[in-house]
Amino acid sequence: MKKRAAVICGGQIRDYSWFRERISDLDPCRIICADVGAAHCLRIDVDPEVVIGDMDSLDPETAEDLVRRGTRISGYPPEKDETDTQLALQYALSLEPEEIRIFGAMGGRIDHTLANLSILKIALDQGVPTRLVDEWCEILMIRDSCVLEGEAGQTVSLFPFSSAVTGITLRGFAYPLENNAMEIGRPYGISNVLTDQRGFISLADGILLVIHYYRKGHFPEGA
């Protein structure tokens, strides 16, 4: 049985029935919250193992309720270099899980979303498969290869996270590639489409950000 961890952040989660199902699918799973991400857990009656952060968003009454329910609070000073989500991810990595899912990390402030995308590299460097997940998509970071499990018609976009990515090969996509390159400032990897239940992505050098929309023909407002 896989050792899993879930990091719950304070960003948007609009569909709590979806969130409850995803957490249930991961069970057994270690639940770590970044600050006010704990409020999302309370909405689905899940007690996190620990809440980590400077607690600038989590109200004292909720924190006290969590402690009564057995959750540990790990507080940090506001004057710190790490984001609350980074601290929560580092704690999750210390548990040596086989995979990590990060919820509530997108939507709202674009700077927070970008910060959460960037910390995927921390998990990548430690070799732990990690994905940001919301109701519409999953986002992962790769430096070698991956297989996307999905359905024909789902949208997949690729962006270079390093200055250049070389040797990109795509199989199972409407727009296949063979040993191609991508560089920042030329986003031609956007809006590819799966043609089967699996899409294969490999690269020779660099780091690639992969965004997989699993709701066909449905995108969040403003996309």
- Which pLDDT value is given to residue 207? 98
- Retrieve residue 68's tokens: 């009564």
Give the model confidence (pLDDT) of 152-176 as tens digits. 999 999 999 999 999 999 999 999 9
Confidence of residue 72 (pLDDT cuts 50, 70, 90): very high
CA dist., res. 50 & res. 91, Å (int): 9
Percent of the chain clearing pLDDT 90 (strictly above): 83
pLDDT tens digits, 109-145: 899 899 999 999 999 999 999 999 999 999 999 999 9
Looking at every residue in the chain, the average pLDDT score rounds to 93
Position 77 scores a pLDDT of 87
pLDDT at 193: 96
Reported as a single tens digit per residue, the pLDDT across 21-43 is 999 999 899 999 999 999 999 99
The 3-state secondary structure of the chain reads CCCEEEEECCCCCCCHHHHHHHHHHHCCEEEEEECCHHHHHHHCCCCCCEEEECCCCCCHHHHHHHHHCCCEEEECCCCCCCCHHHHHHHHHHHCCCCEEEEECCCCCCHHHHHHHHHCHHHHHHCCCCEEEECCCEEEEEECCEEEEECCCCCEEEEEECCCEEEEEEEECECCCEEEEEEECCCCCCCCEEECCCEEEEECCECCEEEEEECCCCCCCCCC
| Least confident piece of the model among 19-28, 57-66, 95-104, 122-131 | 57-66
Residue 217 has pLDDT above 70, yes or no: no
Mean pLDDT of 37-63: 91
**pLDDT for 214 beyond 90:** no
Grade residue 1 by pLDDT with cuts at 50, 70 and 90.
confident
- What pLDDT shows up at residue 61? 86
Beta strand 145-149 pairing with 198-202: antiparallel
For residues 28 and 1, give the distance between their C-alpha atoms in angstroms, rounded to a whole number.
9
**At residue 197, does pLDDT exceed 60?**
yes
Phi, psi of 184 (to 5 degrees): -60, 135
pLDDT at residue 221, rounded to an integer: 57
d(CA 84, CA 52): 7
pLDDT classification of 220: cutoffs 50, 70, 90? low
Give the model's pLDDT for residue 25: 94
Give dist(CA 219, CA 137) in Å, integer.
9
Q: Which two tokens stand for residue 21?
A: 């199902």
